[in-house]
Amino acid sequence: MEILTSLPILQIVILVFILVVFKSCILFVPQNRAFVIERFGRYQSTKEAGLGFILPVIDRIGADRSLKEQAVDVPSQNAITKDNISLTVDGVLYFRVLDPVKATYGVDDYVFAVTQLAQTTMRSELGKMELDKTFEERDMLNTNIVTSINEASSPWGIQVLRYEIKDIVPPKSVMDAMEAQMKAERVKRAQILESEGDRQAAINRAQGEQQSVVLAAEADRDEQVLRAEGESRAIVAVAEARAEAIKRIGEAADTDMGQKAIQLDLATRAIEAKHAIAKESSVVLLPDATSDASAVVAQVMSIIRSINEKQSG
């Protein structure tokens, strides 16, 4: 303070002027911002984030542009689809400034311009689609709108990143018709599912009955096979028993005792045959040589044959 008070007033004024001028020459540009510098009213340069210098008096900041992504609400508007249905549509537009110079000198208000362009583009794209497609292909609709806006806004130094449709509201009559259509579709799907269930149940029942019949047939077949095997084994056993009996009879008949037993058996059968002949009132003449064993056997065999012939006749 003592130094300042000791200086002349003119020097103090000059020092203050120098400080003010020096301060006006320095620019501190924030991050993601850009200053458009004009000299004598014409574009001179663009100062981006960091420290910058300008000439006082002759240079000035013509525009301060944000390079961040910006979101703008697109107001609701009416649009007519390809099948002449009026819709109320609104959305959100996301964009950023790529070229601060074009955004400053290429258009008066780039936010207003890009918003209006989004509305007109949205109406144009909706006019190319039918009502059902606007709900089914909303992503494709958003992509087409972004592509069309970028083609038109490139002279403004604006890049549209994405466009999102918030809501599509058709007229009440169309809403009622769509609701009725969806209800009919749900009923149809329910009926289809029910018929599919009935068909599957019928198939399952038929397959069950078929499997039951097959199992019953297999069981019957196995039973018949087992019965046949049992009968076959029984026949074989009887045949073997008869063969064994015949074998033993033959072995016994080859002895003296066996011959006597045979003669006794034949004599017994001869007596029985005579009784049978007497019952049938038939006359059979026997030779006188009844004491001969061979003659008795021959007589008995003749009687047996005669009885068998009568019974078969």
pLDDT for residue 7: 53
Q: What is the mean pLDDT of the chain?
A: 79
* Mean per-residue pLDDT, 198-225: 85
Q: How confident is the model at residue 1 (pLDDT cuts 50, 70, 90)?
A: very low
Percent of the residues in the chain that have a pLDDT greater than 90, as a whole number = 6
Residue 5 has pLDDT above 60, yes or no: no
Residue range 95-138, pLDDT digits in tens: 999 999 998 888 888 899 999 999 988 888 888 888 878 877 88
Among 59-68, 116-125, 196-205, 298-307, the minimum mean pLDDT is found in 298-307
Position 291 scores a pLDDT of 47
- Over residues 43-47, mean pLDDT: 86
Question: Which pLDDT value is given to residue 92?
Answer: 92
Mapping DSSP onto H, E and C, the string for the chain reads CHHHHHCCHHHHHHHHHHHHHHHHHEEEECCCEEEEEEECCEEEEEECCEEEECCCCCEEEEEEEECCCEEEEEEEEEEECCCCCEEEEEEEEEEEECCHHHHHHCCCCHHHHHHHHHHHHHHHHHCCCCHHHHHHCHHHHHHHHHHHHHHHHHHHCEEEEEEEEEEEECCHHHHHHHHHHHHHHHHHHHHHHHHHHHHHHHHHHHHHHHHHHHHHHHHHHHHHHHHHHHHHHHHHHHHHHHHHHHHHHHHHHCCHHHHHHHHHHHHHHHHHHHHHHHHHCCCCCCCCCCCCHHHHHHHHHHHHHHHHHHHHC
Query: Rounded mean pLDDT of 232-257?
Result: 75
pLDDT at residue number 112: 92
Q: For residue range 252-293, list pLDDT tens digits in order.
A: 666 767 666 666 676 677 677 666 666 655 555 455 444 455
pTM of the model: 0.52
**Homologous superfamily assigned to 70-170:** Band 7 domain (3.30.479.30)
Kindly list the domain boundaries of the chain, sorted by start residue: 2-66, 70-170, 172-254, 267-312
Instruction: Report the percent of the chain where pLDDT is more than 70.
Output: 77
Mean pLDDT of 173-183: 74
Higher pLDDT, 59 or 146: 146
Q: In this model, does residue 225 exceed pLDDT 70? A: yes
Per-residue pLDDT at 4: 46
